Amino acid sequence: MKVEIFLQNEKNSRYRDKYDEQTLEFIRTDELLAAAEYQYGFIPGTTGEDGDCIDVWSISESSHDTGKPISAEIIGALEMYEEYRGEKQSDIKIFVSPEKNTAELTEDIVAGIKDFTRRIFKKFPEVSISFGKTLTAEEAELRLKE
């Protein structure tokens, strides 16, 4: 299934540009605690349990333009949970590939994203994170349609 995604960071960068998820207007640049191996963004027009657009990781050997929508194929997802002040929310991460030859979602890629996420959340010790299942492309598509 193809989706339009909006990328916010360059590959291997410690910086992420923040955009208004409705208007896609640039807001600011945030420095991250670690460099992201893959590009990160969101799927405009979606809403996750946290009220924000659903997050997306672009699994690609190359870097794609940030700050504008591009088309990509869903290749899987990762269940993630954030707990803050006793309230636990699901925050699914969708994996996509913008290339014609769709990337394969491997255990190493998922492990790297989990490690990166744990490092980023060190900035927020009041938030506890945990991970659930890694979903197939078909399961991810069903979650996206919920």
pTM: 0.92
- The secondary structure of 76-125 as a DSSP string is EEEEEEEEETTEEEE--EEEEE-SSSPPP--HHHHHHHHHHHHHHGGG-T
Under 8 Å between Cβ of 66 and 39: yes
Rounded CA-CA distance 135/115 in Å is 18
> Residue 68: its pLDDT value, please?
87
User: Which CATH number is 100's domain given?
Assistant: 3.90.80.10
Reduce the secondary structure of 34-45 to three states and give it as a string.
EEECCEEEEECC
Number of domains present in the structure of the chain: 1
Per-residue pLDDT of the chain (146 residues; tens, 9 = 90+): 999 999 999 999 999 999 999 999 999 999 988 898 999 999 999 998 888 999 999 999 888 989 989 999 999 999 999 999 888 999 999 999 997 767 889 999 999 999 999 999 998 999 999 999 999 999 999 998 87
> Residue 63: its pLDDT value, please?
86
Of the candidates 146, 138, 135, 145, the one whose C-alpha atom is nearest the C-alpha of residue 79 is 135
Report the 10 Å Cβ neighbour count for 94: 27
Of the candidates 132, 142, 8, the one whose C-alpha atom is nearest the C-alpha of residue 78 is 132
User: 65: helix, coil or strand?
Assistant: coil
> Residue 99: its pLDDT value, please?
77
> Residue 61: its pLDDT value, please?
86
Give the domain extent around 23: 2-145
